[in-house]
Every structure is written in C-alpha cells, then in structure tokens.
C-alpha cells in the first residue's frame, strides 16, 4: 500500500509549474509574517564554538599602569552624530573600567535588567591577532572584542512583540589616561532589520586626579538602501531608543556606582539654545522625510500667515501715513 504522503508528493511533482510554486511561496510568506510580528525562535544567547573562535581567546582586558596619573591630554576621537550621554564622574578611568567594562563586572546585566530586557548575555573580552593593512610581512595588531546579546520587549500593538539585539564591542584604546570603545548593535525581528545598524562610541578620559568625563555618542547607519520616508522613521526611532537607553537608564547605573558631577544650572545657556535649534531643525527634517504631505501643508500655512502679517503691517503703515498727511 502506497503512503498518502508519497502520493501527494508525486502529484505535486507532476503538477504545473504554477502549482509547484504555491507551497514554497506560502512557506516564505508565513516565515516573513512571523519575522515581522515577532513570532520566531529566540536566538541562542551563548556563543557557539565557531563564533567564539572567530573572536579569539578570552583575555583580561584591564587597565595597567599608574592609576590616575596623567602625562598628556587624552586624544578624544570624533564622536557620532548624536550625543547620548555626557557626564563628569568623580572617579578614575581605571576604577570606572573595572566597575563597568571588566569581565567580572555585572554592570551590563544590571543595566539591561533595569530596562526590562530578557535573556541578557554579556560575554568576556576576547583577543585575536589581526594582520595590519599595508604591512608587507609580520605586521599584526591585537583585536579585542566582546559580544552582548539581549531580547528587548516592544510595546507597539501593531508591530513585533520583541526584538533580538546583538552588540559587538571593540576596544580601540585603553590606558589609565582614557579609553575608547566602539559598539555595533544589530537587531533582528523588526521590519528592515537587515538594512541598518546602530553604532555607538564610548569615550572616557581623566580630566582631574579624581574626575573623568564620559561621552557616549551614537548614530543609525544604513547597510542597504531604504525608501526615503521609511529611512527617516528608522533613524528617528533608533536615535530616540538610544537616547532613552543611555540617558535615562545607564546614567542611573553610573550614578549608583560613583555619583555624577552635575553641571551648574544656567552654566551653558548658549549651548542649550543651540541644542534647541538643532532639535527644531531635526524635527522639521524628520517631518519632511516621513510625512511630505503634512510638511507641504504646514509650509503653505506658514507662508499664508507670514503674508497676512506683512499685508497687515503694510496697511497699518499706509493708514498712519494718510492720517498724518
């Protein structure tokens, strides 16, 4: 007796090309809908053997040398497009690194727990030799990286319920005088996730014997082309998410560990005004990118209002002139 499943497979093979395309097309559609709505398997939060090997062997990655002794001003690299956190902390670079970034620290676990993230995995720093570009022979550098992954619940009722995030930290520079760490965050489970990534730059450097400055900046970078209107929405949501994360939550972790030297009220009014202008400009640009029809209508209304004001001023001026005559 022939199994019914075998009969069905043979019938499908003999069917027309259009019918044979139905099954894989339907499967692809179901897979896509599951990805968009968040119904997909959560990624493994521990590194596989081949992934760990690609990052290298575990290293301590700690500050060495005299603590708190500065010889030359730290060379601060150019930051990303948006400043997410800029605070003065009453501690040394070595103490901050040990409490936040060192392998035995639980700061990142507490940070993600405070944000409601799940399945958080903070891997150790790993070291691997990397050949230098342009070196004829024997040139190499130590590439030090660590992997962090977590599941972030999402509250949008019309979108996916969660997003799987994977961060790769790369140590650029580390000394008692300062440190620079680059981070690339890739997200899965949201629409157009493969088209963009969030890039974050951590810079901490000693400004006094017991005071360091921490600057965290970030930006959204596109790895594939995206339609203009959607691009503006993705950038806006990504930047807002990074702002909330680093400005509201991680600052609490830093304050809990060290305290923060707050700026005096009204100390930098000019900077605040410039920031407000930049915020207004960014808002106009985002509106033009995401809702061009609304932007055109708003622009037309502004032009009409300005014209009415100009005409009223001209009428008043002519009336006063006539009465004076």
The SS3 of residue 59 is coil
pTM of this structure: 0.65
Please state which of the ranges 232-246, 247-261, 287-301 shows the lowest mean pLDDT: 287-301
43-270 sits in which CATH class?
alpha beta
**Residue whose pair of structure tokens reads 């055109």 in the numeric block:** 296
Q: Tell me: the pLDDT tens digits for 115-147?
A: 899 999 999 999 998 876 655 455 668 899 999
Whether the predicted pLDDT of 13 surpasses 60:
no
Q: Tell me: the pLDDT tens digits for 270-308?
A: 333 333 444 444 455 445 545 566 666 777 778 888 777
Pick 49 or 9 by higher pLDDT: 49
Mean pLDDT of the chain: 76
Structural domain boundaries in the chain = 4-34, 43-270
The average pLDDT across 161-184 equals 95
pLDDT band at 20 (very low <50, low <70, confident <90, very high): very low
Cα distance between residue 58 and residue 275, in whole Å: 42
311: how many CB neighbours lie within 10 A of its CB?
A: 10
Look at residue 46 in the predicted model and tell me its pLDDT: 56
Look up residue 78 and give its DSSP letter: P
87: how many CB neighbours lie within 10 A of its CB?
A: 18
Pick 55 or 288 by higher pLDDT: 55
DSSP 165-197: EEEEEEEEEEETTEEEEEEEEEEESSTTGGGEE
The SS3 of residue 73 is coil
Look at residue 306 in the predicted model and tell me its pLDDT: 79
Whether the predicted pLDDT of 260 surpasses 50:
yes
pLDDT band at 6 (very low <50, low <70, confident <90, very high): very low
Cβ neighbours of residue 170 under 8 Å, at least 6 residues apart?
Answer: 143, 144, 145, 181, 182, 183, 184
Cβ 134 vs Cβ 117: under 8 Å = no
Look up residue 101 and give its DSSP letter: T
Q: What six digits make up the tokens of 106?
A: 């639980």
């Amino acid at each position: 007796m022939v199994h019914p499943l075998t009969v069905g497979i043979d019938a499908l093979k003999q069917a027309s090309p259009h019918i044979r395309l139905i099954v894989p097309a339907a499967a692809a559609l179901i897979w896509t809908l599951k990805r968009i709505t968040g119904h997909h398997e959560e990624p493994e939060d521990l590194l596989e053997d081949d992934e760990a090997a690609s990052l290298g062997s575990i290293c301590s990655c700690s500050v060495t040398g005299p603590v708190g002794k500065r010889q030359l001003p730290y060379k601060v690299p150019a930051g990303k497009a948006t400043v997410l956190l800029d605070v003065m902390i009453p501690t040394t670079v070595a103490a901050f690194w040990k409490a936040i970034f060192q392998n035995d620290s639980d700061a990142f676990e507490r940070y993600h727990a405070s944000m409601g993230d799940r399945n958080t995995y903070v891997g150790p720093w790993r070291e691997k030799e990397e050949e230098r570009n342009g070196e004829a022979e024997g040139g190499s550098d130590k590439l030090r990286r660590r992997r962090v992954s977590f599941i972030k619940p999402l509250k949008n009722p019309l979108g996916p319920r969660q997003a799987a995030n994977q961060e790769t930290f790369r140590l650029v520079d580390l000394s008692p005088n300062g440190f620079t760490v680059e981070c690339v965050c890739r997200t899965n489970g949201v629409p157009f996730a493969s088209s963009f990534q969030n890039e974050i730059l951590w810079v901490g450097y000693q400004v006094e014997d017991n005071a360091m400055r921490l600057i965290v900046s970030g930006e959204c970078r596109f790895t594939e082309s995206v339609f203009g209107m959607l691009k503006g929405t993705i950038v806006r949501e990504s930047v807002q998410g990074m702002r909330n994360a680093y400005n509201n939550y991680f600052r609490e972790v830093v304050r809990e560990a060290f305290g923060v030297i707050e700026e005096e009220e009204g100390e930098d009014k000019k900077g605040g005004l410039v920031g407000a202008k930049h915020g207004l400009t960014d808002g106009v640009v985002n509106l033009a990118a995401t809702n061009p029809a609304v932007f055109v209508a708003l622009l037309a209304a502004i032009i009409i209002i300005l014209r009415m004001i100009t005409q009223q001023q001209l009428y008043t001026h002519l009336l006063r002139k006539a009465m004076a005559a």
